[in-house]
Each structure stands twice: as C-alpha cells, then as structure tokens.
C-alpha cells in the first residue's frame, strides 16, 4: 500500500511546478485527489498525466485568494471525495521584482491576497471537514524568503513570512484537534514562476552559477519539494506540527557568506 492509500487530498496550484509534481507523487502513493488552479489548461494537463496511471483525480478551477472559491473547493472535496484528510495550499504568485520604493499598494495587496490570504482561507474552510474526519494534515507553501531577507522581493517575502506565522499560530489554536499545520519553505526551485530567472541566466551564459549561494551549489527541482509534502501529508510526520521546513540546499542555514573570505 502507498503512504497515502485512501487519503482524501486537496492541492491548490496544481497546474504546474511544485503543485503538479506533488499531485503526481501523491497519486502514486494512493491518494484520492481534488486539485485546483486558476490555469484551467494546465490543470487539465496535470489531470491527464495522473489519469494515465489509473489514479483517481478530480479538478476544479478557482482563484485561491477568493473566499467563495475556496469555500466551494472544500465543500466539493467532501462531496466528491467523501471527506477530507489532507490539504496542501500551494498556490502562489511571484509579484513584482521591485524594491519597496517602487512597489505599488495594488501590487502589494495582490501578492498578499493570493500568497497569504490564500493559505489562510484554505485552512479556515478546511478545518470543519478535517475535524469531521477526526484530524488530518494541512500544508502550506511558504518560502525561505519568508524566513529572512535576501531571497526575494519585498511583497513576496513579507507575504511568505505571513504564511510561516500562520502555521505556527494555527497549530496552537488547533491544539488537541488532531489537525497538524505545517509549511514548506522552498529555496530556488525551477518552476513556471521562476523560469524567467533561469532563462535570463542561460541567455547570459551564467547558468553554471545558479544556486551558487547555497552549500548544495545548485537549484532544486519540484520533485524535491513534493517529497517533503509527502512526508508532511503522511503518518511519517505524525509528531511534526507548527513547523516551517526549509528545503533550500542549505541556503537558509547561514547569514550572508562569501566563499574563501568569511570576514
């Protein structure tokens, strides 16, 4: 049996990148899936890839920052899957690559609407179903940019810091419920959201320097985040709660560092 055999799972941001990789991994582990994204075409492609293996998968187009859409997602999960055991609130956007003085309030609000309000809404509306199931696992995608400065622009970094605090506070608010609440903090991962950075590096011929700031000396892959999501979704992590787990090749382990010149 798979590690998620019979588990009823919702994943947002499933049209590409980390969400797609996690959907495929969970399917191979026996999960029953309802996956969602704003990108309907990408969502259909994810479902087609998973369906080839014979796994059961349902899809729903939604805006992860819309309360009515998220409330409908959790309701659909109970009706289509017969309940809910795991939620992975992964949907997010990059936002503007601008310093604080060039970031507009409209850009700031949109990044927070999707990246911070999105996981909050997913948790809020998943709690009743998770309680009815006797407990479960809620996972959110944060970022190393939410742990300290130097890994992302201002709006994105602050929004992801909010996700880290969300899981820490919620874990205590849900004490004794059987619902575990954790976050994954990816480092530099090649996804649709980060593809312009990788493309620019390759165009400059500097792709060999990608990931040079972390001890692993490389960027990560969506599958490596999916492996951590699988751990948090499964009973292997039954005593892990209120944590923000960095999966970053070691980037977040240090203050700014220059090789060969520590002073």
Strands 244-247 and 57-61: unpaired
CATH number reported for the structural domain that contains residue 204 in this entry:
3.40.50.720
Could you report the per-residue pLDDT of 189-231, keeping only the tens digit for each?
877 776 677 666 677 777 677 777 888 888 899 999 999 999 9
Q: Give dist(CA 94, CA 82) in Å, integer.
A: 34
Q: Tell me the β-bridge partners of 247.
A: 186
Identify whether the C-beta of residue 120 lies closer than 8 Å to the C-beta of residue 79. no
Is 250 contained in some domain?
no
Q: Tell me the β-bridge partners of 34.
A: 10, 58
Could you report the per-residue pLDDT of 69-82, keeping only the tens digit for each?
999 999 999 999 99
Asked if 257 is an active-site residue, the reply is no
Could you report the per-residue pLDDT of 123-150, keeping only the tens digit for each?
999 999 999 999 999 999 999 999 999 8
Residue 167: domain span:
8-245
Number of domains forming the structure of the chain: 1
Give the global pTM.
Answer: 0.93
Q: Tokens 């604080």 sit at which residue?
A: 100
Is 257 contained in some domain?
no
The one catalytic residue in 156, 172, 239, 257 is: 156
HEC per residue, 104-115: CHHHHHHHHHHH
């Amino acid at each position: 049996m798979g590690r998620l055999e019979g588990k009823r799972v919702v994943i947002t941001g499933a049209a590409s990148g980390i969400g797609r990789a996690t959907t495929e991994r969970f399917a191979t582990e026996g999960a029953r899936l309802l996956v969602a994204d704003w990108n309907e075409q990408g969502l259909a492609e994810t479902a087609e890839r998973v369906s080839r293996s014979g796994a059961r998968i349902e899809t729903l187009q939604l805006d992860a920052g819309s309360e009515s859409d998220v409330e409908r997602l959790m309701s659909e999960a109970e009706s289509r899957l017969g309940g809910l055991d795991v939620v992975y609130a992964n949907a997010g956007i990059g936002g503007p690559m601008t310093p604080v003085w060039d970031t507009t309030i409209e850009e700031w609000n949109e990044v927070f609407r999707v990246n911070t309000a999105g996981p909050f809404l997913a948790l809020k509306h998943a709690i009743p179903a998770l309680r009815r199931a006797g407990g479960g696992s809620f996972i959110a995608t944060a970022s190393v940019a939410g742990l300290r400065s130097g890994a992302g622009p201002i709006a994105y970094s602050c929004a992801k810091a909010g996700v880290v605090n969300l899981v820490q506070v919620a874990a205590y608010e849900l004490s004794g419920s059987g619902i575990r609440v954790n976050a994954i903090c990816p480092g530099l991962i090649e996804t649709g959201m980060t593809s312009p950075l990788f493309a620019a590096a390759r165009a400059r011929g500097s792709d060999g320097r990608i990931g040079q700031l972390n001890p692993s000396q490389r960027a990560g892959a969506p599958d490596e985040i999916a492996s951590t999501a699988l751990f948090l979704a499964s009973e292997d992590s039954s005593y892990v709660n209120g944590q923000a787990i960095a999966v970053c090749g070691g980037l977040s382990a240090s203050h700014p560092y220059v090789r060969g010149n520590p002073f």
